[in-house]
A and B are shown apart, each in its own frame.
Chain A
Amino acid sequence: MSKTGEPIIKLKGVSKKYDEYGVVVNALYEVSLEIFPGELVSIIGPSGCGKSTLLHCMGLLDRPTSGKVYVDGRDTSKISGKEIALFRGEKLGFVFQNYNLIPRLTVLENVILPGLIMNRDPAELEKKARVLLEEVGIHHRADHKGVHLSGGEQQRVAIARALINDPVVVLADEPTGALDSDSSLELMELLVELNKNRGATTVFVSHDVEIAGFGRRTIALKDGRIVGDTREKGVDFKKVLKKLSTNSREE
């Protein structure tokens, strides 16, 4: 579990460079930030600004070119390649834009999958999965195949799946990206509710201002740099958005 008052995720001078066909692209540039327990953080920015890269670095799916990522107080650069998978499975939960449910598995099986990967007791997992499905309002479809559900329903299943291992933080990459506006709003309300009721620390990425507005804290990203953070004193959501648009005009 996270230490009270200590950041759950801490990025210190994180940069990420890609080599695309011989051209070096700076996806992230000297990004430093801290995510604290219980926060509901939205990361907003235009396409290609590095939002997903930032989330991947936080989620230990990708290693930064330089800088350090601390998760639950541990310097992840010191974790070996083999161990990182286990650490990721234990500490982090993921929600993807396209849900990524395994089509041949039932809703229940999809939810318990990360728990099985972590070698947890299947009976316990099933019990817990049913509770989670109830919480996300999809328990009545537990034995259906994931593919037979609507987009909104599938994403609810994905949220339950992200919570099955009691992660210290849930990372959601454009969770409403594949949903219609009604379903998007319903899903965001669910995330807010889970954050409030369960205290599930959540970081989500969106390019949609309305969706990003569900975050209790918003970080604006532009060209791989943080250009605004509502955690800073005197900076609210509107100012963050303004900074984003100002930066765009300056460019």
Chain B
Amino acid sequence: MDISRRLAIGELKEHKRIYAVIIIVIALTMTSFMLENAYLNYMMQVVDDTTKLVTSDAAIVDPSCNLRDLYGTEVELKNAGEIAKRIEENLPGYKTTIRVTAQGTYGLGVKGEAVDGCTIQGIDPERDNEITSLADKIVAGRFFSKNDSILRGHTPLYIEIKGPGNLPDFVYGTSERPLEGDKPYPIIIGATAAKMHPSLGVGKTISLTMSVSGKETSYATVNVKIIGMYESGTPTLDALMWFMHADSLREIKGYGEITGKDWHIPGVGTFRGYNPIKVDRDRGDVVLVKAPEPLHKLNPIGYSEEVKEKVSSIFPFLKVYSWHDFLVYIAGSMQDVVTIMLWGSIAVTLFLCGAAIKYVMDSIIMRKTREIGSLKAFGARDRVIFKIFLYQGLVIGFIAGILGVLFSLLVMYLVNWYGFNVEFIAGTQLKVSFIINWLTLLISIVLPVVLSVLAAAVPAKKAAMLSPVEALRKGELSL
């Protein structure tokens, strides 16, 4: 074994108590880092899963839309099918899906006395599921199937309200009943909505009034049958967002070849009916873009912006929102601030640990000056002395890193085993869970090693540069 390593091990043994304290402090810092990071990873994963139900990696909308419109008030995106196709052609590995959206209001109870709202996302089940994995989030009932009556076969009650200037001259009730005997459209609702309104359940049929075009203020009331219930991990979103088949919404919104006759409502007037309609699958309100899995998962925000930039470069005239834009819209920069604070607090603690290592080694070197002088007299070169202290830093950092990882794994195991939940809205609970990625694990070991090696390098250099005579003399003086 290298003489420096032999002597370093001896030093470590001799000062095991003080070094143990430093190791524990660093290990606990790394434990806290690992736990916070792993919880943040979990939260990010949940947020990622949830917000990506709305935006995927990027969402393309009509230039007149804003972020708020992602909740279902977009106007039709012209040439949606062409846009989706061009993205897949120009950006290898990218996937797209077209969505048709609306905002809904539903009545509950016999007389429809309870009223709540939701955003309805019309999805192409197969394609959308590849991007959002919605099917995996179903907690009751089922996902869409081919046997579902996606198209009702005749136009819903569809009313255009037109008035002078911007004001409507007629406002129709939002919970108008559909025609009797109407086949309901299948719908998947969020678990939180069901918790807030216990009468909502799988198999139940309700009437839903939709604002089918955000900019033109037109409404339709339809029957929907709840076929499934999903849970995304973010209860607030599950209260708001419901999923229908895109073709159902295309039919409701009239996205297709209209062959129907006009409708007459006694006492109200005659309105244009879209029944029956041959839906056009190239029409929709939003194109969702899914980018290939990023290599740099540590920085999903940066990747999201990258995807947005790439998509924007193909369609500079359209509005492209990244997943991060939407995240900032719903949560502000909270997530970013938490991440910065986490790294900041770790940096401060590690800096203090580094300072502690440096000062402990400084004091050891002060006491060991004569020993260093003797080693030099026996032929030890500067680098031998340097390495003695550097090895100590290396061992301290490595042990601290490993212990930190082990401590945090133990805590994570215990929390998962106990099942720790936090109360959220409407009796829903937020699960406390962790996701460890290899990068976090690597950082938790490498960071303390780098830190303690750097902290040890300063006193090590000082020790190495001591002249043998000075070292022997100072050693004598210190006794």
Contact = CB atoms under 8 A, between A and B. Distances in A.
B269 interface: no
B6 interface: yes
A90 interface: yes
Contact of A86 (B375, B379, B475, B476): B379
Given A98-B370, A98-B479, A86 B468 contact: no
Given A62-B469, A96-B472, A98-B479, A89 B380 contact: yes
B469 A90 contact: no
A104 B378 contact: no
B14 A89 contact: no
B475 to A, nearest CB: 8
Nearest to B377: A94
A82 interface: yes
A131 interface: no
B interface, over-half SS = helix
A100 interface: yes
Contact of A100 (B6, B371, B384, B467): B371
Contacts of B13: 104
B476 to A, nearest CB: 7
Contacts of A114: 378-379
B379 A116 contact: no
A118 interface: yes
Contacts of B469: 56, 61-62
A117 B472 contact: no
Nearest to A83: B381
A88 B379 contact: yes
Contacts of A119: 3
Interface string A148-164: 00000000000001000
Contacts, number: 66
Instruction: Pick from A61, A82, A86, A119 the residue with the most CB of B within 10 Å.
Output: A61
Nearest to B470: A62
B374 A117 contact: no
Interface string A68-97: 000000000000001001101110101011
Contacts of A82: 381-382
A136 interface: no
Interface string B358-382: 0000000000001101111111111
A114 B14 CA distance: 21
Contacts of A92: 377
Nearest to A158: B374
Contact of A104 (B10, B382, B467, B472): B10
A117 B3 contact: yes
A15 to B, nearest CB: 16
A105 interface: yes
Contact of B379 (A56, A85, A161): A85
11 contacts: A82-B382, A86-B379, A88-B379, A94-B374, A96-B472, A100-B371, A104-B10, A104-B14, A114-B378, A114-B379, A117-B384
Given A82-B381, A88-B377, A102-B371, 13 more contacts: A61-B469, A85-B381, A88-B379, A92-B377, A94-B377, A98-B476, A98-B479, A100-B472, A102-B374, A104-B14, A117-B375, A117-B379, A119-B3
Interface of A: 56, 59, 61-62, 82, 85-86, 88-90, 92, 94, 96-98, 100, 102, 104-105, 113-114, 116-119, 161, 165
